[in-house]
Each structure stands twice: as structure tokens, then as C-alpha cells.
Amino acid sequence: MRTGHPNGTAAAPSPGERPRCRAAPHPAVISPQDPTLLIGSSLTATCTVSADLRLRAQDLYWTLNGRRLPAASYTTLGPTTLSVALARLNGSRQQSGDNLVCHSRDGGILAGSCLYVGLPPEKPVNISCWSKNMKDLTCTWAPGTEGETFLHTNYTLKYKLRWYGRDNTCQEYHTAGPYSCHIPKDLALFTPYEIWVEASNRLGVAVSDVVMLDILDVVTTDPPSDVHVSRVGDLEDQLSVRWSSPPALKDFLFQAKYQIQYRVEDSSEWKVVDDVGNQTSCRLAGLRPGTVYFVQVRCNPFGIYGSKKAGIWSDWSNPTAASTPRSERTAGGCDPKGGEQNTTLRRELKQFFGWVKKHSYGCSNLSIKLYDQWRVWLQKSHKTRNQVGTIWAPSGGKGGWEGGSQPQKEGSRGCPPTCA
Amino acid sequence: MLNVAGEPPGDSWGIFAFLCAALCNLPTVPALNGTEELGAGQSIQKTYDLTRYLEHQLRTLAGTYLNYLGPPFNEPDFNPPRLARAERLPSATVDLDLWRGLTDNARLAANYRAYSRLLKYLRGLDSQVGTVELRHRLGHFCSSLQGLVLSIAGVMSSLGYPLPAGPAGPPPSSGTPAAPNDFLKKMDDFWLLKELQTWLWRSAKDFNRLKKKVPPAVVTLRIEARGF
């Protein structure tokens, strides 16, 4: 790739330097150069070769996006000029333009022209905006149906206060997706804004309908902070959720509305509590005992400055986890997962140990108690991340299964060592 | 090392004793000329690693960019003429004997100058180019390339070489004319990517060569301090 075969004279290399071959500055000229065209239109392009290249029209050929164009579409217009006719052009393959290239017979590139074939833009639609804590405004929109598929389209969001003259232009784009803009400051309250989006490409301009909105009607806020979920005494089907109203809006007169959603640990289905009103605590009832729940809360700054309209819901708070107390009626609580398989295994092991005791001499310490202790040790060691591999090392001496004494100190989280 | 509750730590001490013995029996490390060369060895390694990382990043960036330019630019056998315009770019191509004979200072300076200029060209690329994704990739690559330039400067100063006074030649945006048409601009972009690729290939070899000439850093042993 480094040694090309251009048509030109080679400059004399200085000592030690790699010889460089140079092509003539402009081997050929294409006309039109970089035109813009509507889909379906036709085009005749010409390639005129520089006289000092000693090439003739019949030594040339054309490619479009790397594909050779049929010779039937060529016409010789002069000794050094070859033209090509392109009919009913499709939209450009890439937004940087179709590559129409004039080649010499050996494949070398003499000149190129970028064709921009497309449609004028459509009116942008679905303008929707929100303000975070009345401090800024972010708007999103959607392109019209044809979109910017063939030609690069520039979008400009503009806004002005109603009854005031000056148009302003939004500067920070792509903050919330490709069709979005963020206005960070100098926003006025109590007077509505007129907002619209202009789309422009090489073929024209299109302006969306004007949207009128009042900042106070599109306010959203941060999620509630300090979400705490705790048990309600020993009640096994209830959890109490507490939170604080978002700090940013605490100085403004508003009634917040809240929503809670919760789900069981291993499910993806959220249950929503909708009628929380504007209190900052709630008791969830009808829950499953002994289950871990994830809880989230979000806020709607309803009624800002006496507005009767709802605001926009905030994001959900980070999930907070809590578990309901275990019901005492459930037996065999030591084995939370795969309970049935473990009780069968345990029974079999009990029988095995009983047999070994009867028929062995050295393993006098075998008992089902040891098995239970070993299971507890297993659970504990799964929790410590430092384990590279667990080896149950039999200690030296007589018995085979000396586990040592492991008094269970903190029994609150783990299972008690001896299970019924 | 096991960390089972109740197990005596006897085995851990045994291993520690063995490691101490091993350390004491190490062959003598070649004498270093002070802390500067120790730092240089590590800087050279870091710079080498950075060129490999950039090479990897460039592959993705170039793929996306050339697809944006469209065929024939993204075809593997694309073989355009190297027009006079492309001569403005710092060329990595060099005679083998000349390359072998470069002093450390000259070698580093050539890399420093080349990447400083290439970075300026990259930054001068049309900010409206391509998709948002392409612009992000380009931005990210420029940051990494800036890191490489700084890393090379670090190596030069740790070896006591002066930095080349400013990037050679006038800044691309002011001195040289913009491409006269869109197709030639595409060719410029192609050659910029090509030259970046060639330079990164060459730099890996440059820094490999430098690694061998600067004394290696002290061999460091890390003892996992678990259960001691």
C-alpha cells in the first residue's frame, strides 16, 4: 500500500530518504464538483484530463461508490473529456456523499466528486420539554417521517418569551439523545415560552410547529432522598417506608405527590402504590413473610406555586432493600434453598453415619451434628470472598472427620448450628 | 492460602521463610544510575503500552470513519495516489538503516513531533462530520493521543533530553489551504488515518528498541499478605 503507482514524475530523493513518487497536482477535473440533487433526478458528469498526462478519453472509466459504471452510459465529448449519464438517482448511500470517481485505465484515481442526493427535511414533531427544579429546560423532538436519512440534517432549537421580541438559540445539543437540547440558565417564570425546532439540510429548511409552555407546568425534580425501609415490629407481612422530600424544591410552595414501587428480590415485576398522596411515609402490607423486597420512590412536584397541573415524575430513587420477618410456623428454616433435597440428603447421611458408627473403629466422632456444623461452616465460608478454594482438611490423628469446636457466636443472621 | 477459622497459621510462616530465602539468593541486579533511569524504564514501557492501545482504538475509529466516507475508501484494496497534499503529513516511512542509526534523542523527537502534528490535524477535522457516535469516538481518540504526546515528553525529560521546540511547521489550520473540494477532503482524511496507523506501527518498534537500551527497573516481588 505504501508504494502506489501514480501517474507522474518521481522527484529525486535526498540521500537516505525513501524515494517518493508524486502525481501531478490536479490530474483531472470533474464537473459538477460536489453537487446536491433531489432523489430521482438525473445527472451528466464530465471528466477532463490534464493535458500533460498524455491520456485520452478512451483511457478513462467511471465508478460510483466503488462500482464500475457501464460503458454504455459514457460519451466522449472531446479528446480528453469523457462524460457519464446517471439517471433516476437514489438517495445517497452515506451522508458524506456518493463517491463518483474518474479513473485511468490501470485503475488509478484521477479525480472525484461527492454527490449529495436526498430530500429536503420534514418538519420536526413531538417537541416535549421538562425543567429540572425550575433551573433549566431540556427539550426533545423527533424528525419528520423521512428523517435525515440521506443528507446530514442540522437541527436548531429556538425559543422566545411570548410578547417579548428576541429569538434565542439553544446551544447544548444531544444531552438527552440525538434530538435534544439543553437550555441551562436565564429562564423566566410566569410568562410562557414559544419553542420551535428548525431542521435544515443542503436541500432546504423546515420549521416545526410552535409549542407554547410555561416552565412551571413542566417541572420535575430529583428523586426523594433518604429512603428507609424497615420492618414493622414483628409483623411478617408489612414493611414501613420513609423518605424525605427532594431538597431542591423545599423552598418552593408545592404539594408533592409520591409513588412507590416494590418487587420481590428474584422477580422483575414491580407493584406500584399510586395513592401515596403527599405524606413522606407509607406502610406496605400484604407482603410475603421472610422475603427480601426492593423498594423505590419517586416524586411529582404537583401544584408548584399554586398551579393546578401535575408536574413531571422524577426518576425512581435507588432501590432500597429490606426483608420481612420470617414466620415461625415454617419448619426446617435452616435450609432456605432446595429444602426438600437437603432433608432427603440429610436423612440418608444420618443413616450412613449410624452404620459407620456401628462398623468402624476410628471414626467415633461421626454424627449428624458434625454434618450440620459442616454446613454452617460452608455457608460462612461462601460469604468470605477471600476463599480461593475450600478444602476440608482432615486433621492428623485418629478420626477422619475432626471438625474442631466452632461455637456459634452471632446467631442472628446465620442459621443456628443445630437444626431440628 | 486458606483462611479457615480455627486453623493454625503454621503453613503461612513456612512460605514466608521460603520467600525470604529466595530473595536473598537473587542474582545481583545491575547497578542503576540513580532514580531517573528507573523512572525512564517504566515510562518507556507505559508509552509502548499506550501505542498498542491507540493502535487498537484506531482500528475501530478508522473502520467507522472509512465506512462514513463510503466505498471505495473503506475497501481493503483501496490504492489512491499520494497527492502533493498528503506530503504535509509527517511520514513514518523511513529508510531501514537510517531508522536503525537514530540516536535515542532523535528517535523520541521524531515521535513527539509527528504525534503533535497529527493531533492538530485530527482536532481540525470538521466538527460537523458524521454521526454523533463518530464524533465521540474521534474525541476519545484525540484525548488518548494527547496522552501519548505527554507520555513521550515524559520519557524525554526523564532521560534529560530537551523537548523539540513546538511542533515542526506552521499549524495546519492557518498555514495550508483547506481541501478545494469534498472529494479531496475525503482523501485528506484517508491519508491522515493511514499515516496515524503507520506511525503507531513504527512507534511500537521505536519504543521496543528504547526499552532494550535503558536498564530495566528493579524486579519487584509482591507477597500476598493474607493470613499472616
> What is the SS3 assignment for B28-43?
CCCCCCCHHHHHHHHH
Chain B residue at shortest CA distance from A408:
B5
pLDDT digits (tens, 9 = 90+) for B135-154: 889 999 999 999 999 999 99
Domain A222-328 falls under CATH 2.60.40.10: yes
Phi, psi of A320 (to 5 degrees): -110, 140
pLDDT band at B179 (very low <50, low <70, confident <90, very high): confident
Which positions 115-134 of A are in contact with B (Cβ < 8 Å)? none
Closest Cα of chain A to B198: distance in Å? 10
Query: Is 90 exceeded by the pLDDT of residue B111?
Result: yes
pLDDT digits (tens, 9 = 90+) for B77-91: 898 887 777 778 888
Which positions 158-187 of A are in contact with B (Cβ < 8 Å)? 174, 178
Rounded Cα distance, A82 and A60, in Å? 7
Distances (CA, A) of B212 to A196, B108, B112, B206, B215: 63, 14, 20, 10, 7
pLDDT band at A265 (very low <50, low <70, confident <90, very high): confident
pLDDT digits (tens, 9 = 90+) for A359-403: 655 444 556 666 677 667 666 666 654 444 434 334 443 443 333
Whole-number pLDDT of residue A217: 87
CB-based contact A209:A153 (threshold 8 Å): no
pLDDT digits (tens, 9 = 90+) for A11-56: 444 444 444 444 456 889 999 999 999 999 999 999 999 988 888 9
ipTM of the complex: 0.74
Query: Is 50 exceeded by the pLDDT of residue A65?
Result: yes
User: Which CATH code fits A125-218?
Assistant: 2.60.40.10
Contact: A99, B70; criterion CB under 8 Å: yes
What pTM was computed for the model? 0.67
Number of H helices, E strands in chain A: 2, 26
Whole-number pLDDT of residue A385: 45
Burial (CB count <10 Å: 0-12, 13-18, 19+), residue A100: buried
- The CATH class given to the A20-118 domain equals mainly beta
Query: Considering only CB atoms, which chain B residues are within 8 Å of A388?
Result: 1-2
Instruction: Give residue B207's identity as a one-letter amino acid code.
Output: F
pLDDT band at A308 (very low <50, low <70, confident <90, very high): confident
Query: Nearest Cα to B116, choosing from B81, B87, B89, B155?
Result: B89
Whole-number pLDDT of residue A341: 56
Q: How far is CA A403 from the centre of its chain?
A: 51
Contact: B181, A113; criterion CB under 8 Å: yes
CB-based contact A401:A366 (threshold 8 Å): yes
- Domain ranges (residues) in chain B: 40-164+181-213
Mean predicted confidence (pLDDT) in B12-34:
47
Instruction: Give residue A264's identity as a one-letter amino acid code.
Output: V
Distances (CA, A) of A277 to A216, A282, A300: 20, 10, 10
Rounded Cα distance, A321 and A153, in Å? 47
Mean pLDDT over the full length of chain A: 79
pLDDT digits (tens, 9 = 90+) for A156-180: 999 999 888 789 999 999 999 889 9
Q: How many CB atoms neighbour CB B166 within 10 A?
A: 9
Query: Nearest Cα to A368, choosing from A343, A389, A331?
Result: A343
Whole-number pLDDT of residue A410: 34
Query: Is 50 exceeded by the pLDDT of residue A409?
Result: no
The answer, for B98 touching chain A at a CB cutoff of 8 Å, is yes
Please indicate whether the domains covering A125-218 and A222-328 agree at the CATH topology level: yes
Query: Nearest Cα to B148, choosing from B65, B52, B216?
Result: B52
Query: Is 50 exceeded by the pLDDT of residue B196?
Result: yes
Closest Cα of chain B to A353: distance in Å? 25
Whole-number pLDDT of residue B80: 87
Instruction: Give residue A307's identity as a one-letter amino acid code.
Output: S
Whole-number pLDDT of residue A371: 64
- Domain ranges (residues) in chain A: 20-118, 125-218, 222-328, 341-420
- The CATH class given to the B40-164+181-213 domain equals mainly alpha
Rounded Cα distance, A312 and A297, in Å? 14
CB-based contact A54:A80 (threshold 8 Å): no
Chain A residue at shortest CA distance from B191:
A2
Query: Is 50 exceeded by the pLDDT of residue A4?
Result: no
DSSP assigned state of A10: B
Size of interface A-B (CB pairs under 8 A): 117
For A225-229, A262-266, A403-407, which range has the lowest pLDDT when averaged over its residues? A403-407
